[in-house]
A and B are shown apart, each in its own frame.
Chain A
């Protein structure tokens, strides 16, 4: 079994209004060191052992449903989960 952690953010070229609002708020709290904020989504998938290629599978899911690749970029980490 695998645990897949998917991170989705707006693409660099796309203005992130939520990130801008959070940055502004951090600045008003005097954290002026913060030069950029991007707000994204974090999705955890638990995937049973399968004959299919895991990377292929996760990419498919990301591009079909989890991310809108017109405006969003995604990356993911795969963790091995040992069940007893």
Chain B
């Protein structure tokens, strides 16, 4: 499986993401600059964390209009797995690929530490490797991760099981209903604030994030590789 790590001016978790795919997961991966206008050769699209365009105006607001986002929308519509982490999640929200918006953290502090997450749905292409309600540890690092959506949207997210991760224990940023990660209606676009790419090896303090990438690959193989 071949992954693209989209690099925006200001991305700073692109190298971590690349490392997670290449070294921890052992799959093919390439950096793809934001001006690219073709993602056809990639099977999975990764939007890393960072501060695209300096987070000017709002997190993700300017990146959402880069050339590559037209292609990301196409890839999402084609059913390819699209994972946005942190700033990548914010870009997916601004692009309208996921519903809702991000506010500043309730406590106003930039938070950078491990948090507990609960797997709320293990029937998705991103979480099939986890147990339902499994508690996992993945780091967060953000100043604007306070997820918000209106009541109708929240009801739909709940009804369709689109909340994949919630914060377990304390709610670090004040997110609505402790939401840490959601998918689109088709289930192939995941946005999450915690950084699974920074939790792929015990040396890093946790390897609980690796299963997300393994789940993507497993689900992709099941639908793309014909076995004799």
> Is the interface on chain B under 10, 10 to 19, 20 to 34, or 35 or more residues?
20 to 34
Q: Which A residue sits closest to B106, measured CB to CB?
A: A17
Q: Contacts of B146 on A, CB cut-off 8 Å?
A: 17
In the complex, the answer to whether B57 meets A71 with C-beta atoms within 8 Å is: no
Q: Contacts of B108 on A, CB cut-off 8 Å?
A: 17-18, 21
Residues of A within 8 A of B (CB-CB), count = 12
Interface members, chain A 8-61 (any B CB < 8 Å) = 10, 14-15, 17-18, 21, 41
In the complex, the answer to whether B61 meets A17 with C-beta atoms within 8 Å is: no
- The B interface, classified by DSSP as helix, strand, loop or mixed, is loop
In the complex, the answer to whether B148 meets A66 with C-beta atoms within 8 Å is: no
- In the complex, A70 has a CB within 8 A of chain B: yes
In the complex, the answer to whether B61 meets A71 with C-beta atoms within 8 Å is: no
Query: Given A65-B57, A65-B61, are A70 and B103 neighbors across the interface (CB < 8 Å)?
Result: no
Determine how close the nearest CB of chain B comes to the CB of A71; give it in whole angstroms.
4
Given A68-B58, A68-B94, A70-B99; 4 other pairs, CB 8 A cutoff? A15-B174, A65-B61, A68-B101, A71-B103
